[in-house]
Amino acid sequence: MSHHIVEVKGLQHTYADGTHALRGVSFRITHGESVAIVGANGAGKSTLILHLNGYLSPSAGTVRIGDIPLTKQTLPEIRRTVGMVFQDPDDQLFMPTVYEDAAFGPNNLGLPPEEVDNRVTQALLTVGVEHLKHKPPYRLSGGEKRRVAIASVLSMSPDILVMDEPTTGLDPLARRRLITLMKEFRHTKIFTSHDLDMVLDLCERTIVLHEGTVRADGPTLDIFSNEALLAECSLEKPLSMQGCPICGKSRS
């Protein structure tokens, strides 16, 4: 389905204080792709993904989701299509219980109660937090919060999932579980992350942002093998591609 395509052309964004966060970013992500957007702090990653569902509007350039250009009129449709998972789950989980939080989106879509219930149950089952549904979000652990945040987006059946730093602040096991979970999703996926090992696990394609422009865009392995590029963009080879600290042998 062409709904799953994300096309960004010549995107520029200047904040009110005069910061040029994006200076002409273009890329096209097609159906079912899993893409990482990496870059140093302040490279424009967050600004970029806030354009993908119309929270920020471009100073110049266009964003298209599937066949629809992003405009004020198409905003509701776009927001249903693009599910956004925020970096801090506390920002996303504002309803009194897990269930109500997952039902927030479907209710806003105006779905009938049975359908809302179906979707919420399905979403909670998918991420494995069905047993927490009556709990208030602040009583959950970091990993549980993250899963619930994902469920609250899945319940709207988005075609495209956008996640901002999904593994930040998780313990290794919770991180591993999250990665396994995300591998199962058939959606088009877009991640921003500094966790390059996760990127290596999940994304076949990586876009490197540097000072508001696309510095490189290609297969993840190629990009992570290019040490000059990584150094220029304040990045580093993922740990799993670096030499073994004991025997000194490199895996890649």
Partner 1 sequence: MTRNGSSFLDLNYLDILASGDTVIHRIDPRAKVLATALFIIFVVSSGKYEVSSLLPFFFFPVILISLGRLPTRYILLKILFLSPFILFVGIFNPLLDTAPMLHYGTFSLSGGWVSFFSMIIRFILTVGSAFILIATTGFSQICAALEKMGMPKTFAIQLLFLYRYIFVLGNEVLRVSRARELRSFGNRGKELGVFGSIAGTLLLRTWDRAQRIHMAMLCRGFRGEFHFRRPCRIGKAEVVFLACWTSFFALCRMVDIPALMGRFISGVIR
Segment contacting partner 1 by CB under 8 A, of 106-114, 189-197, 211-219, 235-243 = 106-114
Q: Which of 74, 104, 79 has the alpha carbon at shortest distance from 92?
A: 104
C-alpha distance from residue 21 to each of 24, 153, 247 (Å) = 10, 27, 43
- Check binding of 42 to partner 1 (CB under 8 A): no
- Check binding of 138 to partner 1 (CB under 8 A): yes
| Of the candidate residues 6, 39, 48, 53, the single one contacting partner 1 (CB under 8 A) | 53
As a whole number of Å, the end-to-end CA separation of the chain is 36
**Which CB atom, from 96 or from 218, has the smaller least distance to partner 1?**
96
The helix (run of H) or strand (run of E) holding residue 13 is strand 6-14
- Check binding of 153 to partner 1 (CB under 8 A): yes
What φ, ψ does residue 85 adopt, rounded to 5°?
A: -110, 120
Segment contacting partner 1 by CB under 8 A, of 32-40, 129-137, 172-180, 208-216 = 129-137
| Of the candidate residues 107, 126, 157, 213, the single one contacting partner 1 (CB under 8 A) | 107
- Check binding of 139 to partner 1 (CB under 8 A): yes
The helix (run of H) or strand (run of E) holding residue 190 is strand 188-192
Q: How far is the CB of 21 from partner 1 (least distance, A)?
A: 16
Residue 119, helix vs strand vs coil? helix
Distance between alpha carbon 178 and the CA centroid of its chain, in Å? 13
| Of the candidate residues 39, 58, 66, 137, the single one contacting partner 1 (CB under 8 A) | 137
- Check binding of 246 to partner 1 (CB under 8 A): no
**Which CB atom, from 24 or from 136, has the smaller least distance to partner 1?**
136
Order of all β-strands in the sheet with 213-219: 82-85, 160-164, 188-192, 34-39, 205-210, 213-219
The helix (run of H) or strand (run of E) holding residue 24 is strand 20-29
> Which positions touch partner 1 (CB under 8 A)?
50, 53, 55, 76, 79-80, 83-84, 86, 88, 90-92, 94-97, 100, 103-105, 107-109, 113, 116, 134, 136-139, 141, 152-153, 156
